[in-house]
């Protein structure tokens, strides 16, 4: 009998919800988990794109992948996604809270209060609501996990995206707390994502020259991340390969900036 070193990375038998999975990093995660054997429900604000992405993934992986509209700031929409996933797959074992967004602030010294509230609702509260809506099903599942797409901006100064960075910092604290609350029942981890250059950067208001700089970062690896880099880390944390890991925030950011004590 041969030893299969990849057995624990299989997602066969797992039923996944991924928020914000219609494009960019989310689509990469959905495709990877589906390719590893999971049944996947993509929940995205753009329902048509979610369905199109899901159909393309299913055609490529041969596994059941579906998509539907979901505004994660709406409790009714969250409940509808959970109900549809259970009806389609029979349960939920894996939740990926991937959705998140934050625009660049033109004047960090004069940010409207509403910007902070909206960011907190989208980047923090929505993950709590989705997690709690899935919890009755997660508690019944084998290797149940909640894994979150965090941001490295939550751990370093990021005044030009202050509402986003602070909301993601709150997500980190909340998810570590949930890991302790759900001990022995559901594993909870987060990935602090570094610069992964996607179309979302332009949507967030970053100037072309800023995007160009982010495309050539001075990190330990020497390149920006790709959606697949994040998807690979997600697969590890969602699968049994990480069965002894919970309550962690893991950096996936190319190693961070190079430190040179005496110059270049």
DSSP 71-128: -TT-HHHHHHHHHHHHHHHS---EEEE-----PPPS-TTS--HHHHHHHHIIIIIHHH
Q: Which two tokens stand for residue 199?
A: 């179309």
Pairwise CA distance, residues 25 & 166, whole Å: 21
> Residue 142 carries which DSSP code?
T
164 catalytic? Reply is: yes
Could you give the 3-state DSSP secondary structure of residue 147? strand
β partners of residue 187: 145
DSSP 153-187: GGSS--GGGHHHHHHHHHHHHHHHHHHHHTTTT-E
Residue 148's closest CA among 85, 48, 215, 238?
A: 238
Pairwise CA distance, residues 108 & 66, whole Å: 40
Of the residues 120, 128, 159, 164, which is catalytic? Answer: 164
* Cα of 81 vs its chain's centroid, Å: 17
Residues 29 and 229 sit within 8 Å (Cβ to Cβ): no
Residues 96 and 34 sit within 8 Å (Cβ to Cβ): no
User: Active-site positions?
Assistant: 164
């Amino acid at each position: 009998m041969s030893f299969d070193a990849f057995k624990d990375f299989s997602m066969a038998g797992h039923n996944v919800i991924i928020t914000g999975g219609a494009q960019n990093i989310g689509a990469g995660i959905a495709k990877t988990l589906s390719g590893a054997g999971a049944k996947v429900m993509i929940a995205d604000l753009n329902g048509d794109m979610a369905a199109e992405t899901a159909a393309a993934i299913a055609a490529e992986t041969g596994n059941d992948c579906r998509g539907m509209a979901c505004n994660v700031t709406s409790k009714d929409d969250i409940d509808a996604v959970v109900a549809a996933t259970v009806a389609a797959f029979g349960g939920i074992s894996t939740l990926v809270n991937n959705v998140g967004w934050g625009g660049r602030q033109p004047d960090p010294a004069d940010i409207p209060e509403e910007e902070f509230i909206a960011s907190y609702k989208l980047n923090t509260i929505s993950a709590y609501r989705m997690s709690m809506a899935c919890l009755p099903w997660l508690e019944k599942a084998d290797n149940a996990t909640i894994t979150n797409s965090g941001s490295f901006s939550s751990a370093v100064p990021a005044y030009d995206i202050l509402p986003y960075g602070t909301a993601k910092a709150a997500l980190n604290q909340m998810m570590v707390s949930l890991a302790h609350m759900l001990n022995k029942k559901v594993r909870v981890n987060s990935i602090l994502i570094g610069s992964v250059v996607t179309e979302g950067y332009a949507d967030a208001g970053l100037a072309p020259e800023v995007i160009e700089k982010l495309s050539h970062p001075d990190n330990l690896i020497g390149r920006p991340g790709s959606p697949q880099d994040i998807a690979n880390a997600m697969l590890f944390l969602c699968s049994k390969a990480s069965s002894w890991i919970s309550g962690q925030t893991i950096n996936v950011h190319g190693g961070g900036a190079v430190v040179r004590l005496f110059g270049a």
